[in-house]
C-alpha cells in the first residue's frame, strides 16, 4: 500500500513547493555552464536544495521525522548565499567578515543540534540564519539605491533573488520567533495552517530563483 499525505491545502502547497524546488534544481543543472559566475552560486544553491527537498518529502510520506536535515539545509543555504552576495556586493569589509560569520554559524548550528538533538525543531538556528540573510539582502538594496546603475529592476536577476529572500525570511522569522509559543497555546490544526504559510513563502522564494536563473543580467 502506497503511503500518501492527505490532500489538504497544506499538503497541496507542500507538493507544489517541492515541485518548484525540483524545477529550480533542474534549471540550475541545465543552465549552469551558461550562467555568470555570480549566478552559478545561485544554481549551486538550487542543486544543493533539490535532493534535500525530495528527501524531506519522502520521509514525510512514510510518516518519519525529517528535522535532522534542517541543520544541513540551514548551513548550506547560508554558505552558498554568502558566496552569492560576496560576489554581488564586492565590498571588501563584507568579504573579510563573511567567512568568519559562516564558520561561526556552522559551529553554533552543529553544537546546538548535538545538544538539543537532531530530531527536534531548533528555532534559534532559524532566527540567526534569517537575520544574517536579511542583513545581506539589506546591503544589496542599499548598494542598489546608492549606485543607481540598474535601469530596469525586473530584468535584474539579483533583484528577483533578493526580493524573494526578503519576503521569505521576513515571514519565516516571525514563524521561528513564535513557534514554541504557538505550539504550547494553540491547536495542532492552527499550527499546521501557520506552517502552510511558510510553505507558501517557500513557493514564492523558489519561483523567484527560477525567474533569476532564466533571465540574463543587463549589460
Would you say 205 and 168 are in contact if contact means Cβ atoms under 8 Å apart? yes
How many helices and strands (H and E) does the chain possess? Answer: 7, 0
| Interatomic CA distance for residues 95 and 106, integer angstroms | 17
Q: What is the pLDDT of residues 64-77, one digit of tens each?
A: 777 788 889 999 99
Average pLDDT over residues 144-154: 79
Highest mean pLDDT (candidates 28-32, 149-153, 194-198): 28-32
pLDDT of residue 41: 95
| Interatomic CA distance for residues 142 and 140, integer angstroms | 5
Q: Which range among 133-142, 156-165, 171-180 shows the weakest confidence by mean pLDDT?
A: 171-180
pLDDT of residue 141: 93
Q: What is the pLDDT of residues 4-45, one digit of tens each?
A: 556 677 778 888 888 999 999 999 999 999 998 889 999 999
Question: pTM for the whole thing?
Answer: 0.89
Burial 49-61 (b: 16+ CB within 10 A, else e): bbebbeebbeebe
| Interatomic CA distance for residues 104 and 97, integer angstroms | 11
Segments making up each domain of the chain, as ranges: 9-214
pLDDT band of 184, cuts 50, 70, 90? confident
Q: What is the DSSP letter of 155?
A: G
Amino acid at each position: 500500500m502506497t503511503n500518501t499525505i492527505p490532500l489538504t491545502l497544506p499538503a497541496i502547497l507542500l507538493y507544489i513547493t517541492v515541485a518548484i524546488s525540483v524545477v529550480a534544481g533542474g534549471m540550475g543543472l541545465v543552465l549552469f555552464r551558461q550562467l555568470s559566475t555570480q549566478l552559478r552560486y545561485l544554481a549551486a544553491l538550487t542543486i544543493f536544495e533539490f535532493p534535500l527537498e525530495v528527501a524531506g518529502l519522502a520521509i514525510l510520506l512514510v510518516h518519519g521525522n525529517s528535522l535532522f536535515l534542517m541543520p544541513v539545509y540551514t548551513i548550506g543555504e547560508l554558505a552558498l548565499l554568502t558566496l552569492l552576495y560576496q560576489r554581488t556586493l564586492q565590498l571588501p569589509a563584507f568579504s573579510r567578515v563573511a567567512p568568519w560569520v559562516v564558520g561561526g554559524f556552522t559551529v553554533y548550528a552543529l553544537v546546538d543540534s548535538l545538544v538539543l538533538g537532531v530530531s527536534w525543531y531548533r528555532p534559534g538556528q532559524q532566527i540567526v540564519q534569517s537575520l544574517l540573510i536579511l542583513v545581506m539582502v539589506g546591503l544589496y538594496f542599499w548598494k542598489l539605491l546608492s549606485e543607481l546603475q540598474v535601469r530596469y529592476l525586473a530584468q535584474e536577476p539579483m533583484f528577483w533573488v533578493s526580493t524573494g529572500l526578503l519576503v521569505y525570511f521576513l515571514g519565516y522569522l516571525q514563524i521561528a520567533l513564535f513557534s514554541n509559543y504557538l505550539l504550547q497555546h494553540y491547536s495542532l490544526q492552527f499550527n499546521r495552517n501557520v506552517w502552510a504559510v511558510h510553505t507558501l513563502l517557500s513557493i514564492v522564494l523558489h519561483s523567484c530563483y527560477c525567474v533569476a536563473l532564466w533571465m540574463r543580467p543587463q549589460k
